[in-house]
Amino acid sequence: MKIERVTEPDDAAVEAVGLLLRQLSPRRKPPSLVELTELAASPGTTLLVAREGDAYLGMLTLILYRVPTGLRGFIHDVVVDESARGRGIGEALTREALRLAKSAGARTVELTARGEREAANRLYRRLGFEPRETNVYVWRPG
Ligand SMILES: CC(C)(COP(=O)(O)OP(=O)(O)OC[C@H]1O[C@@H](n2cnc3c(N)ncnc32)[C@H](O)[C@@H]1OP(=O)(O)O)[C@@H](O)C(=O)NCCC(=O)NCCS
């Protein structure tokens, strides 16, 4: 199993991202090839995938962004295929994202995980993430 960055998505990557996304947010529309290509080309955005041969076993997206308080990181859309869970793939994806964030000079890396996502919450705490006392707000257009 290897962790790699998606730089030039193809149809296989689009299909894999769609299958993985369905296991995270079943109602969310998966990205098209054009959207995934845009994502891969976005400065500060890194789409990592875990691969074994041709199979895509998991993914994670790291965002690095600069604000007046410094370079910050955010991790989104972490998912490992149901058939491959419990093998350390989620850990390997997250560790690679943290390595990239640290070497870029990020001061913090944040993520959110709903309480019912037990495996995710255990994983993140095991890797050193601490719950932060703040209110998380979301705004949606319309
Ligand atoms: C959270 C998630 C990415 C973890 O991926 P993973 O590759 O299984 O992660 P790891 O193997 O590195 O470890 C995760 C933990 O869950 C346990 N686990 C999860 N699924 C398991 C399974 N099917 N069999 C055995 N153990 C499992 C692992 O043993 C480990 O527990 P520990 O921390 O107490 O040792 C994966 O469970 C997942 O995709 N869940 C659904 C989507 C989701 O919740 N994403 C996170 C959004 S915040």
Q: Structure tokens of 10?
A: 């193809």
Is 139 part of any domain? no
- From 28, 25, 36, 84, select the one nearest 61 (Cα to Cα): 36
Domain assignment present for residue 142? The answer is no
Identify whether 134 is part of a domain: no
Name the pTM for this structure. 0.95
Residue 88 has pLDDT above 90, yes or no: yes
Helix, strand, or coil (residue 105): coil
- Answer yes or no: is the C-beta of 95 below 6 A from any ligand 1 atom: no
β-pair partners for 62: 46, 75
Mean model confidence pLDDT for the chain = 97
Task: Tell me if 6 is assigned to some domain.
Answer: yes
Ligand 1 atom closest to Cα of 119? 16
Q: How many structural domains are present in the chain?
A: 1
Within a domain: 48: yes
Flag whether pLDDT at 142 surpasses 90: no
| Model pLDDT, residue 89 | 98
Q: Does residue 13 lie within any of the structural domains?
A: yes
Pocket of ligand 1 contains residue 78 by CB under 6 Å: yes
100-116 residue pLDDT tens: 999 999 999 999 999 99
Q: Give me ligand 1 centre to Cα 4, in Å.
A: 19
Report in angstroms the alpha-carbon separations of 79 from 17, 103, 135: 10, 24, 24
On whether residue 76 sits in a domain, the answer given is: yes
**Across residues 133-139, what is the average pLDDT?**
95
Q: How far is the CA of 141 from the centre of ligand 1 (A)?
A: 32
Domain that holds residue 75: 2-126
Indicate which CATH number applies to the domain containing 66.
Answer: 3.40.630.30
Report yes or no on 19 lying in a domain: yes
